[in-house]
């Protein structure tokens, strides 16, 4: 949780490229072999009452040289949840009930949803271009947007089975 590990031999051995005590890194996403984002959204407190939570470490780091150096990325305030990278400069990020987009590597972020109309209660996200994205909703649904996250619609299932979704690729 406090180290970012790297392998260069397909997983036979691993070594730390970054160590941050008490960071609790829990998300990694990569654009390519050189550009990798690490997210920490560790918090303590009451799950039922988000206002009682204390964010111990809520940060995002990026490397553009395969882990040799890491920089802190400017992110909107609140609890970081998920990131979906389109390129080294373009990505989507969920913070609390909001969906944000950057086109400049995190220097600035634009909110894509209006939480008063459509709060972002969805889980993991994966965007395939600037406007089309997918998200896990609850345990058994996938939702899709074609307008950069303003509106999400349920993707209908073609059978009567319920499958547990926990990741998007």
- According to the model, what pLDDT value does residue 65 have? 95
Residue (of 111, 148, 155) closest to 133 by Cα position: 148
Helices (H) and strands (E) in the chain, counts: 0, 14
Contact criterion met (CB below 8 Å) for 63 and 36? yes
Cα separation, 51 vs 61, in Å, equals 25
- The Cα–Cα gap between 169 and 166 comes to 10
169 pLDDT band (50/70/90 cuts)? low
The pLDDT > 90 percentage for the chain reads 43
Integer angstrom CA distances of residue 106 from 39, 41, 63, 72, 141: 13, 17, 13, 10, 29
The predicted-structure confidence for 4-16, as pLDDT tens digits, reads as follows 999 999 999 999 9
State how far the alpha carbon of 34 is from the alpha carbons of 17, 82, 83, in Å: 12, 20, 17
Range 62-75 average pLDDT: 93
C-alpha closest to that of 83 among 115, 37, 114 = 37
CA distance 140 to 125: 15
pTM for the whole thing?
Answer: 0.80
Average pLDDT, the chain: 83
pLDDT in tens, 93-129: 988 888 999 999 999 999 998 888 766 676 788 999 9
Contact 103, 109 (CB under 8 A): no
Say how far residue 49 (Cα) sits from the centre of its chain.
22
User: Which one of 19-23, 122-126, 132-136, 157-161 scores highest in mean pLDDT?
Assistant: 132-136
Q: What is the DSSP string of 45-93?
A: S-SS-GGG-EEEEEEEEEESSTTSS-EEPP--SS-EEEEEESSSS-EEE
The one-character DSSP state at 156 is P
């Amino acid at each position: 949780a406090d180290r970012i590990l790297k392998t260069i031999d397909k997983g036979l051995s691993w070594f730390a490229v970054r160590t941050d005590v008490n960071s609790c890194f829990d998300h990694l996403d990569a654009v390519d072999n050189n550009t990798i984002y690490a997210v920490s959204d560790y918090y303590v407190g009451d799950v039922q009452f988000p206002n009682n939570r204390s964010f111990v470490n809520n940060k995002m780091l990026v490397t553009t040289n395969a882990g040799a150096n890491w920089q802190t990325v400017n992110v909107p305030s609140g609890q970081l949840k998920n990131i979906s990278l389109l390129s080294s400069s373009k990505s989507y990020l969920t913070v609390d009930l909001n969906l944000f987009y950057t086109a400049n590597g995190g220097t600035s972020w634009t909110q894509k949803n209006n939480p008063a109309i459509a709060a972002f209660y969805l889980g993991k996200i994966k965007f395939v271009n600037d406007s089309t994205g997918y998200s896990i909703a609850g345990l058994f649904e996938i939702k899709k947007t074609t307008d950069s996250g303003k509106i999400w619609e349920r993707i209908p299932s073609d059978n009567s089975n319920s499958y547990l979704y926990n990741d998007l690729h």
